[in-house]
């Protein structure tokens, strides 16, 4: 990575052989002076990434062929032995398949030349279509959040639509395709993403439209709805039953781990009703104990692309974690605190699991302290999502943020949850618009944990423990999408969720498939924020939530501790230097040791040349300032940032640097020059090292003395001033 999601040295195959819109082979070229097979390792790597069978290495004089399927390798004796495109096609695809050939004639919809699939998207599309061509009925794609699953679904639907594939396997009509999600925002996003289809080919199935027209829409090719709409209906008759069982040819189930594929889900009735259709499941979550039903239903994924792959490839944004603990994380009632509601258990230690849930405990001052810590640490202009225990907690946090914010906008922070309805959806759409800055912060419980495409989210705030690995990975995924200038994002963790990175499930191997248990009859699933149901009899009365107001002295003395950790994509802790190198690449070797860096930095001309050289190699001032933020060195000199990266030296602030060296700097100058240099040091402390550039000298003189002429008269002439201005700087960067 170079920063802002740009790769420092992007992998690039020299040649990719494409025939009939399909990648068939890779060629890696080396100079004539190398052996013909010199590029073999790279050629194999590229072939495996692009999932092509044949790959070649060449030095311009000969050709070396590798068959990645059989492992056979050979040096091709003459050009007469090189396969033609059709021969390579026939070698790749041994058996004839009319639908595979028909799909390949349909190019991707490239939005007028502005879109090309990333290599893993191409792989996913091709693998899914290959399975359709083979006649497979259940297909699963597993790709990390932020990798463009909706774009993949669109291209698959595009090829099915234009090839006129359908369940009859005869190209006599266009298919009827259903996109099925479990949240309106996801269905709406997909509907908008499919806008390249003819307008009359798309239909949004919504309850109000059905009620208005008295029937479900049938006159379209691609339909979009949510499970909840299909399960609803008049007279207890679900709307999905108004379609014949074989109406849809192809069904795309978005975030399939969370709804229709779960055996205990009543929504599963929809998939089983439309069982004749080919069903494609999309999920970001590798198979784990929480979602084995998904894999039992669909089978093994035909293609997988993990969060680790996405970050390593530079397609997803890496992250750091701020681990924050306070002296009020746990609570024991003490006299002096006021019980506002409920009953306290004296002597009981209330822990994180007890807070901010129905029947638990709420201490407003505790939550206010956490909000103040976040707002004090973060850039308040950066977009953030705050994950809370439930909707009441999300409302409390929203209010506390708005009470403590710097912004004067009434919608700076809003809640988006099930209770917020259309108004919440409106705010979410505005938040997703990267051109809009308000709302800046959303609070939520679970509604925003998945599927929301907001690319410029810079901060994820966890005010609840997340004990489910699926949900945890999805929450992390809210920040991984790339955006211009976004080098990384930050997770502010108040509830020790960072321990999830130590779980083998973070990026471990998928567990083996299990036999699918029989589905219990008549059981449903809870929607977001719905209360659990009891199994028969009278429902238990809700427990009163304990509300405590802390004594004034206790509230004012809440302390906190914070540390920053950096994590690799596979859940391993990294040093800050390793994380920085992953972001921006290796620091260019423009100085050999600490002494040389001090000498270069202590002269304005050599410092300027060094900064220019660093900028040309991907470490410009913008990148160095980003590193300063990462290591909490915003008030340090860029010298300290470089010394930290190169030599692991702990940064000091500019103010500390001035205090350490001021006496030595001033001792050789007269009183008037001492006054001026003290002024320069003050500007340096406030504004940074650029104040020491020679180009700044005239403006500094004018700022202090109104004009350069007056300054010259008082200080003994411009040459003397320049000599002092340049000469003192080497002392500022002396070692201890």
Task: Report the 3 state secondary structure along 138-161.
Answer: EEEEEECCCCCHHHHHHHHHHHHH
- Residue among 638, 460, 619, 625 at smallest CA distance from 1: 619
Q: Among 5-9, 55-59, 289-293, 326-330, which is the least confidently predicted range? A: 5-9
Residue with tokens 């719905």: 530
CA distance 212 to 228: 18
Q: Kind and range of the H or E element at 352?
A: none
Residue 257 tokens, joined: 């781990």
Beta bridge partners of 567: 573
Residue of higher predicted confidence among 559 and 382: 382
| Three-state secondary structure call for residue 159 | helix
User: Would you call the peptide bond into 559 cis, given omega within 30 degrees of 0 as the criterion?
Assistant: no
Residues 175, 221 contacting (CB under 8 angstroms):
yes
- pLDDT-based confidence at residue 278 (cuts at 50, 70, 90): very high
The answer, yes or no, to whether residue 538 has pLDDT greater than 60, is: no
Calculate mean pLDDT across residues 586-610. 80
Q: Which residue has the higher pLDDT, 713 or 234?
A: 713
Q: Give the list of residues 6+ apart from residue 583 with CB closer than 8 angstroms, or none.
A: 1, 3, 318, 487, 488, 626
Mapped onto helix, strand or coil, the DSSP state of residue 235 is helix
Mean pLDDT of all residues in 549-568? 73
First to last CA, the chain: 35
Element (H, E) at 531: none
Q: Using the predicted structure, report yes or no on whether residue 3 has a pLDDT greater than 60.
A: no
DSSP class of 521: T
Q: What is the pLDDT of residues 344-402, one digit of tens each?
A: 888 888 888 888 888 888 888 888 989 998 998 888 888 998 999 888 899 999 999 99
Tell me the backbone φ, ψ of residue 498, rounded to 5 degrees: -60, -20
Q: How far apart are CA 84 and CA 87, in angstroms?
A: 5
Q: 55 pLDDT band (50/70/90 cuts)?
A: very high
CATH architecture assignment, domain 319-494: 3-Layer(aba) Sandwich (3.40)
Flag whether pLDDT at 288 surpasses 60: no
- How many other β-carbons are positioned within 10 Å of the β-carbon of residue 494? 24
Cα four-point dihedral sign 683, 686, 688, 689: positive
CATH number of 15-92: 3.90.1570.30
Cα-based angle 48, 53, 59 (whole degrees, multiple of 5): 80
* Whether the Cβ atoms of residue 51 and residue 126 lie closer than 8 Å to each other: yes
- Cα angle 178-183-188, degrees, rounded to a multiple of 5: 65
Report the C-alpha gap between 713 and 706 in whole angstroms.
12
Q: What percent of the chain has pLDDT over 70?
A: 84
Q: How confident is the model at residue 571 (pLDDT cuts 50, 70, 90)?
A: low
When pLDDT is averaged across residues 503-520 and rounded to a whole number, the result is: 44
pLDDT of 464 > 80? The answer is yes
Q: For residues 17-31, give the mean pLDDT.
A: 90
- Position 164 pLDDT exceeds 90: yes
pLDDT at residue 224, rounded to an integer: 92
The pLDDT of residue 591: 75
Who has greater pLDDT, 452 or 309?
309
Average pLDDT, integer, range 150-167: 92
- Report the phi/psi class of residue 129: left, alpha or beta, with left for phi > 0 and alpha for psi in -120 to 50: alpha
Residue 378: the pLDDT is 87
Provide mean pLDDT across the span 592-618: 81
Output the pLDDT for position 486: 77
> pLDDT grade, residue 206 (50/70/90)?
confident
Q: How far is CA 3 from CA 310, 349, 377, 635, in A?
A: 15, 45, 22, 21
- 312-326, 501-515, 648-662, 682-696: segment of lowest average pLDDT: 501-515
| Residue 524 predicted with pLDDT over 60 | no
523 band by pLDDT with thresholds 50, 70 and 90: very low
- Per-residue pLDDT band at 259 (split at 50, 70, 90): low
Phi then psi for 596, rounded to 5 degrees?
-70, -40
Residue 631 has pLDDT above 80, yes or no: no
Query: Residue 248 has what pLDDT?
Result: 93
Mean pLDDT computed over 248-271: 71
The span from the CA of 421 to the CA of 416, in Å, is: 8
Question: Number of helices and strands (H, E) in the chain?
Answer: 27, 25
Segment of 243-252, 509-518, 585-594 carrying the highest mean pLDDT = 243-252
Residue 684 has pLDDT above 60, yes or no: yes
Tell me if 15-92 shares its fold with 98-305. no
Q: How confident is residue 530, by pLDDT bands cut at 50, 70 and 90?
A: very low
Q: Torsion angle, CA of 274/276/278/283, rounded to 10 degrees?
A: 40
Q: How confident is the model at residue 617 (pLDDT cuts 50, 70, 90)?
A: low
100-139: string of b/e by CB count within 10 Å (b at 16+)?
bebbbebebbeeeeeeebbbbbbbbbbbbbbbbbeebeeb
Q: What is the DSSP letter of 148?
A: -
pLDDT band (50, 70, 90) for residue 733: confident
Proportion of the chain above pLDDT 90, given as a percent: 13
- Whether residue 539 has pLDDT greater than 80: no
> In terms of Cα–Cα distance, which of 180, 193, 269, 257 is closest to 231?
269
How is 615-628 classified by DSSP, letter by letter? HHTT--HHHHHHHH
Question: Is 90 exceeded by the pLDDT of residue 156?
Answer: yes
Please give the sequence-ordered ranges of beta strands (E in DSSP) within 37-134, or none if there are none: 54-58, 63-67, 73-76
Residue 267: name the closest of 350, 334, 181, 203 by CA.
181
Q: Is the pLDDT of residue 261 over 80?
A: no
Predicted TM-score (pTM) of this structure: 0.67
Reported as type and span, the H/E element at residue 205 is: none
Which range has the worst mean pLDDT, 140-149, 540-549, 628-637?
540-549
Average pLDDT, stretch 219-225?
A: 91
Q: Taking residues 248-258, what's their average pLDDT? A: 84
- Confidence check: pLDDT of 567 > 90: no
Give the pLDDT band of residue 79 (cuts 50, 70, 90). Answer: confident
- Residue 200 is classified by DSSP as G
| CA dist 339 → 343, 362, 366, 496, 562 (Å) | 8, 10, 15, 28, 30
> What's the average model confidence in pLDDT over 282-288?
70
DSSP letter for 242, please.
Answer: G
Q: Which two tokens stand for residue 92?
A: 């790749």
Q: Residues near 685 by Cβ (< 8 Å), separated by ≥ 6?
A: 654, 655, 658
The full set of domain ranges for the chain reads: 15-92, 98-305, 319-494, 584-732
CB 470 within 8 A of CB 410: no
Gap between the Cα atoms of 625 and 631, Å rounded:
10
Higher pLDDT pick, 279 / 623:
279
Identify the architecture of domain 98-305 in CATH.
3-Layer(aba) Sandwich (3.40)
Please give the pLDDT value at position 528: 41
How much is the pLDDT for 178?
Answer: 92
> By the 8 A CB rule, do 448 and 385 touch?
yes
Helix (H) or strand (E) holding 262: none
27-37 average pLDDT score? 89
pLDDT at 461: 92
- Measured CA to CA, the distance from residue 543 to residue 358 in angstroms comes to 7
Residue with tokens 């996109």: 179
- pLDDT for 635 beyond 80: yes
Give the chain's length.
736
Pairing status of strand 63-67 against strand 319-326: unpaired
In tens, the pLDDT along 113-123 reads 778 888 899 99
Q: How many angstroms separate the most distant Cα atoms in the chain? A: 96
Q: Strands 573-574, 560-567: parallel, antiparallel or unpaired by DSSP?
A: antiparallel
């Amino acid at each position: 990575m170079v920063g802002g999601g740009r790769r420092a040295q992007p992998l690039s195959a020299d040649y990719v052989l494409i025939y009939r819109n399909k990648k068939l082979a890779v060629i890696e070229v080396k100079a004539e002076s190398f052996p013909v097979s010199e590029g073999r390792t790279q050629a194999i790597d590229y072939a495996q990434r692009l999932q092509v069978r044949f790959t070649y290495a060449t030095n311009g004089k000969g050709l070396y062929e590798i068959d990645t399927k059989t492992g056979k390798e050979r040096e091709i004796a003459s050009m007469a032995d090189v396969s033609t495109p059709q021969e390579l096609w026939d070698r790749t695809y041994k058996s004839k398949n009319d639908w595979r050939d028909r799909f390949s004639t349909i190019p991707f919809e490239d939005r007028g030349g502005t879109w090309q699939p990333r290599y893993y998207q191409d792989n996913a599309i091709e693998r899914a279509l290959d399975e359709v061509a083979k006649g497979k009925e259940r297909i699963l794609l597993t790709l990390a959040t932020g990798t463009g699953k909706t774009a993949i679904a669109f291209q698959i639907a595009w090829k099915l639509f234009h090839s006129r594939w359908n369940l009859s396997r005869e190209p006599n009509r266009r298919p009827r395709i259903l996109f099925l999600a479990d949240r309106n925002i996801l269905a709406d996003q997909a509907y908008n993403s499919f806008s390249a289809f003819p307008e009359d080919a798309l239909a949004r199935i919504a309850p109000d439209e059905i009620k208005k027209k008295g029937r479900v829409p049938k006159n379209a090719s691609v339909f979009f709805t949510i499970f909840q709409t299909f399960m609803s209906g008049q007279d207890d008759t679900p709307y999905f039953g108004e379609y014949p069982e074989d109406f849809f040819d192809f069904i795309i189930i978005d975030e399939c781990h969370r709804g229709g594929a779960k055996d205990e889900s009543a929504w599963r009735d929809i998939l089983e009703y439309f069982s004749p259709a080919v069903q494609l499941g999309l999920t970001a979550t590798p198979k784990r104990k929480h979602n084995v039903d998904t894999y039992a239903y669909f089978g093994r994924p035909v293609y997988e692309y993990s969060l680790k792959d996405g970050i390593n490839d530079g397609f997803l944004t890496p992250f750091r974690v701020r681990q924050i603990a306070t002296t009020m994380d746990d609570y024991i009632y003490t006299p002096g605190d006021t019980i506002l509601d409920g009953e306290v258990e004296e002597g009981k230690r209330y822990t994180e699991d007890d807070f901010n849930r129905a029947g638990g405990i709420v201490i407003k001052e505790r939550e206010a302290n956490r909000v103040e810590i976040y707002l004090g640490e973060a850039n308040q202009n950066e977009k953030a999502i705050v994950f809370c225990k439930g909707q009441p907690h999300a409302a409390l946090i929203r209010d506390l943020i708005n009470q403590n914010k710097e912004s004067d906008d009434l919608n700076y922070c809003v809640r988006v949850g099930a209770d917020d309805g259309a108004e919440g959806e409106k705010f979410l759409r505005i938040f997703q618009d990267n051109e809009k800055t308000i709302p800046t912060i959303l609070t939520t419980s679970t509604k925003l944990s998945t599927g929301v495409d907001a690319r410029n989210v810079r901060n994820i705030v966890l005010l609840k423990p997340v004990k489910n690995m699926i949900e945890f990975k999805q929450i992390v995924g809210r920040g991984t999408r790339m955006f211009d200038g976004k080098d990384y994002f930050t997770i502010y963790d108040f509830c020790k969720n960072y321990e999830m990175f130590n779980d083998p499930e973070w990026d471990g191997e998928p567990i083996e498939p299990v036999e699918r248990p029989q589905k219990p009859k008549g059981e449903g699933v809870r929607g977001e924020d719905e209360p659990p149901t009891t199994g028969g009899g009278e429902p238990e009365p809700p427990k009163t939530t304990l509300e405590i107001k802390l004594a004034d002295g206790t509230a004012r003395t809440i302390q906190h501790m914070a540390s920053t950790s950096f994590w690799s994509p596979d859940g391993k802790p990294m040093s800050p230097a390793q994380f920085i190198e992953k972001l921006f690449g290796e620091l260019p070797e423009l100085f050999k040791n600490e002494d040389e860096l001090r000498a270069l930095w202590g002269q304005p001309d050599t410092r300027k040349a060094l900064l220019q050289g660093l900028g040309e190699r991907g470490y410009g001032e913008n990148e160095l300032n980003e590193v300063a933020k990462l290591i909490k060195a915003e008030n340090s000199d860029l010298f300290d940032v470089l010394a930290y990266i190169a030599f692991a030296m702990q940064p000091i602030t500019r103010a500390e640097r001035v205090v350490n060296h001021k006496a030595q700097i001033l001792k050789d100058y007269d009183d008037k020059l001492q006054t001026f240099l003290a002024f320069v040091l003050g500007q340096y402390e406030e504004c940074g090292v650029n104040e020491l550039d020679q180009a700044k000298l005239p403006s500094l003189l004018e700022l202090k003395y109104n004009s350069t002429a007056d300054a010259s008269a008082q200080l003994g002439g411009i040459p003397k001033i320049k000599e002092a201005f340049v000469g003192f700087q080497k002392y500022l960067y002396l070692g201890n």
